Amino acid sequence: MPEVKKQKKRKAFKIKQKVFRASDPLLSVFMWGVHHSVSQLTHTTIPPLLLPSDFKAFSKVSIENYNFNSDNMVAKFKFKEYCPLVFRDLRERFGVKEQVFNQSLSALEPYYESDADQAREKGHKHFFSKDNRFVVKLFHSEEVEFMHSILNDYHAYVVERGGKVLLPQYLAMYRITVSGVEHYMIIMRNVLASNGLRIHKQYHLKGSTVDREATDKDKSKTNPRLKDLDFLKDDIKIHIGGDKKKEVLEILDSDVKFLSQLKIMDYSILLGIHNIAQVDIIFVIIIPFEIWN
């Protein structure tokens, strides 16, 4: 009888994909959290109308002994999302697709505007998605309470205006706990980067000349954020055409009335200028930058 050789079974294995990797553990957890949140909402039925309870709702997850990507992912962390259905609806109102939102913020490591350690020392910082579509502002628990106090009115106003506002476009709000430290953050659309044009010059305008000039240190940066006195000294004139001027002024007037109703007065505008081939023809993009310090 001929001898039958037994063949060894070979196990196919999949190389572990290194995702949610970042140089800062906080950013790693942030990337994981955004992906987790969007994935959960994908399997959630979105109601046609939001209820008052949706503006108080939250979802949270606590991870312990989490070994996935342990090089940069901490073993224990917590992720909390505020009002997930409300912000999901706001993203839709502002035309932000869930896939784009998830991909931009979780596929590649976000980056800090300045050195991470420097930013931590200041206690107040921003970081950006790798593709610059979104900006994430880190703030304090008091500002989370403030956002909760205006969120119902803000959402109603965005719905009423069909998303055509020059207010910051708030897209999500989280609390991330890493190594026992709580980090609060809100995600906004980075409007100056949304059209793909390079911004050569930008001004942060508050309508005041008191202490409103960029410092020499600020001016030495690659793309400094100049202020009101710089705008006047540069003798900038904005020409956007009659129809566009009427549209912008109407939106600004409506936004200001809305903020006045909420008794909010800290209101500023970020003006971005794209210079075509270094000639005098410019595209101007105007967007209010923030409604608190």
Active site residue ranges: 137, 266
The half-sphere exposure of 233 on its side-chain side, counting CA atoms within 13 A, is 10
Q: CA gyration radius for the chain?
A: 23
CB 204 within 8 Å of CB 289: yes
In one-letter notation, the amino acid at residue 122 is K
Q: How far is CA 92 from the centre of its chain?
A: 15
221 Cβ contact list (under 8 Å, min separation 6) = none
Angle at 101 between CA 95 and CA 106, to 5 degrees: 175
d(CA 96, CA 36): 18
d(CA 231, CA 224): 12
| DSSP secondary structure of 45-100 | PPPSS--GGGGT-EEEEEE-S--TTTTTS-SSEEEEEESHHHHHHHHHHTT--HHH
Region of residue 170 (phi > 0: left; psi between -120 and 50: alpha; otherwise: beta): beta
| DSSP secondary structure of 162-229 | TT---S--EEEEEEEEETTEEEEEEEEE-GGGTT-----EEEEE-S--TT-S--HHHHTSSS-EE-HH
CB 96 within 8 Å of CB 22: no
CB 270 within 8 Å of CB 203: yes
